[in-house]
Amino acid sequence: MNVRLIQKCVCMFVVCVCGCTIKQSGPVVVALVNGREITSADIKKELILTSGQTLRDELRKAALSENPRVQAGLKLQILSKLLDELLLEEEAKNRGINVSSKEVQQELNALFRSYPGGFTVYSAVHSGVSIRDVKENLKRQLLIKKLLEQEAGKVKISEEEIKKYYDSHSEEFYQSDRVRARQIVVPDLSRAKKILELLQRPGGRKRFAEYARKYSISPEAKDGGDLGYFSEDEVPPQFNVCFKLRRGEVSRIVKSPYGYHIFMVEDRQPGRQRSFEEVKEEIRNLLMERKRKEIVQNFITRLRSKAEIVVYEDRLAGVSLF
């Protein structure tokens, strides 16, 4: 087994072990971080739990690609994210930072109530990830959040910085057309067709909220499917059908990774320029987040430079994500 030491641009030293034959039938160790094993199963869990639908779609395309570099690059992207999280988790524990089971449960409850967070949990469990795995991941994210608040929580932004940003980026604060809509989401097409038929009957649209509470599996079902106001750039592309509907109009059935959707638009707001006072706190948060991101990235770079990280590239290449 040949071991070579390579230095990456982020000052992370990685030992890449190549040319060995793996005969394990279960999860395979694809990396070590300070002696802690990362297996092929961990990579798959990371993909399901935290990578998001966009990256999963990219990976599905990569799986069909004949270019192995594309697939390898995306796997390394997932592994790199997991390595950073494990280093941050380890540092949080070394500092004595704790997260209680109550905090984890509260976070899980909030996730179930959110969109698309609730669907993400359902999808993860359906894909073979246990609720225990979900809770462990949430605990890690909360530990990391507390750690990063210690590192970057005291960032301050002046009024002058905020006004300067507004004046030079006024186009960012033009509010596009917004709609207020409700939705009904069901898991199969036949059920969606039956509900659409009910809505198309005389007086059916007036009962949309009632049908949402009764039939929808989405988190906002308890609120009659009310999604509130949103613009096109704030929602998944499947929701864009709402911007073609008039007030009170019901959409066709729309398929998404979460099921089959039916929308009804309740109100429309035309686009307008938002005033400085309206967006002042939004800009403050944006600039604070940028400064924090820079601090956090420098912090991660320092952790990586001190860590002993081993990546088994040939094993990672053999990991199937689907």
Residue pair 4/15 in contact (Cβ under 8 Å)? The answer is yes
Q: Reply yes or no on whether the pLDDT at 68 is more than 50.
A: yes
User: Which pLDDT band holds residue 55 (cuts at 50, 70, 90)?
Assistant: low
The whole-number pLDDT of residue 65 equals 57
Say whether 177-270 and 2-152+296-317 share the same fold. Answer: no
Using only C-alpha atoms, the chain has a radius of gyration, in whole angstroms, of 24
Q: Is the pLDDT of residue 13 over 60?
A: no
pLDDT in tens, 150-205: 988 778 899 999 999 999 999 999 989 999 999 999 999 999 999 999 999 999 99
42-51: pLDDT as tens digits? 888 887 776 5
H or E element, residue 14: strand 13-18
How many residues can be counted in the chain? Answer: 322
Query: Nearest to residue 75, comparing CAs of 46, 34, 50?
Result: 46
The DSSP-derived string for 223-275 is: GTTEEEEE-GGGS-GGGGGGGGPPTTPBP--EEETTEEEEEEEEEEE--EEPP
Quote the pLDDT of residue 122.
61
Q: Which two tokens stand for residue 195?
A: 């509900």
What CATH number has the domain spanning 2-152+296-317? 1.10.4030.10
- Per-domain residue ranges of the chain: 2-152+296-317, 177-270
pLDDT in tens, 105-151: 998 888 777 655 555 666 666 666 788 888 888 999 999 999 998 98
Mean pLDDT of 302-306: 95
Q: How confident is the model at residue 22 (pLDDT cuts 50, 70, 90)?
A: very low
State the Cα–Cα distance between residues 42 and 159, nearest whole angstrom. Answer: 45
Angle in degrees, 0-180, between the axes of helices 131-152 and 101-113, rounded to the nearest 10: 100
Which residue, chain included where needed, has tokens 């796997």? 75
Q: What is the pLDDT of residues 208-261, one digit of tens each?
A: 999 999 999 999 999 999 999 999 988 999 999 999 999 999 999 999 988 999
Structure confidence at residue 67 (pLDDT):
64
Question: Which residue carries 């979460």 as its tokens?
Answer: 258
pLDDT at res. 44: 82
* CATH class, range 177-270: alpha beta
